[in-house]
Amino acid sequence: MYAQFGSHVTIIDKSSKILGHFEPEIAEQAKNDLEEDGVSFLLESNLTGVNDTLNGVTLTISTPKGIKNIQADGLLVATGRKANVTDLHLERTSIKTGSHGEILVNDILETDAKDVYALGDVTGGPQFTYISLDDWRIMANHLYGDKTRSRLNRPVFANTIFLNPAISSVGKTEAQLNEAGVDYKVLKMPAASVPKTQVIGNPRGNYKALIDPQTHQILGTTIYAEESFETINIISLAMQNHLSAETLRDQIYTHPTMTEALNDLFDQI
């Protein structure tokens, strides 16, 4: 975002690559595009010192090539979050917490204190707004409903990182399927082949889907393209309801939209 506003951005990370939870070829393409937008990366590096200056800060960074100093207007620290539970004084209760301060709950989000529930990011689960909403559904179902919902039968859900364009994914990656010994077929296509990307003026990106070669059930999908955050929800719905890839392939979509990509992506079955 800051790079889009015209700032020069340098990202410092201990890892050897960015976006490690996504398909590696898509993560690499996103990195190249970010660099094209003026973002620099210092990977396998550690921030070892920060000193205030009249105009900002001086950063001292240990990199594989040695010590590097950077002058910057500001420093944004994004090293993760910790549950904000200190003022709750949970040590005075029977509620237990984990190694990162998260409140421990069972599959219906009940704590060790009977009839006391914890919802959302504070439980240490997936930290998404829509997961917090589903947590409420689970709790409400057990308090007022038929007690059938739990974290074990949560619907299929996607996630998105809002870059330019956004990366969205759902289900398994190729590495995860290989590790599990699951057979799969890979479907790929460039985002530039979707007419809507030309209308928008941003043809960057790629689509990648993994399907069961026998049943054609969708096992996972990663989309790096305009409006991926919308398109991915259609795939999530298909996976949740065990629809075959042919269902999405044969659907008639409005034109011109990014959803039309599903016709061509799944036409490769």
**Residues recognised as catalytic:** 255
In this structure, the number of other CB atoms found within 10 A of the CB of residue 109 comes to: 22
- Nearest alpha-carbon partner for 7 in 38, 49, 32: 38
- Nearest alpha-carbon partner for 26 in 166, 209, 168, 206: 206
- Nearest alpha-carbon partner for 209 in 174, 255, 249, 167: 174
In this structure, the number of other CB atoms found within 10 A of the CB of residue 254 comes to: 7
- Nearest alpha-carbon partner for 221 in 212, 253, 29, 67: 212
120: Cβ contacts below 8 Å, ≥ 6 apart: 131, 132, 135
232: Cβ contacts below 8 Å, ≥ 6 apart: 158, 160, 168, 169, 170, 221, 223
In this structure, the number of other CB atoms found within 10 A of the CB of residue 90 comes to: 19
Strand residues in the chain grouped as ranges (E): 9-13, 39-43, 46-53, 56-63, 66-72, 159-161, 167-171, 185-190, 206-211, 218-224
Q: Are 107 and 147 a contacting pair, CB within 8 Å?
A: no
User: Using CA atoms, how far apart are residues 187 and 255, in angstroms rounded to an integer?
Assistant: 22
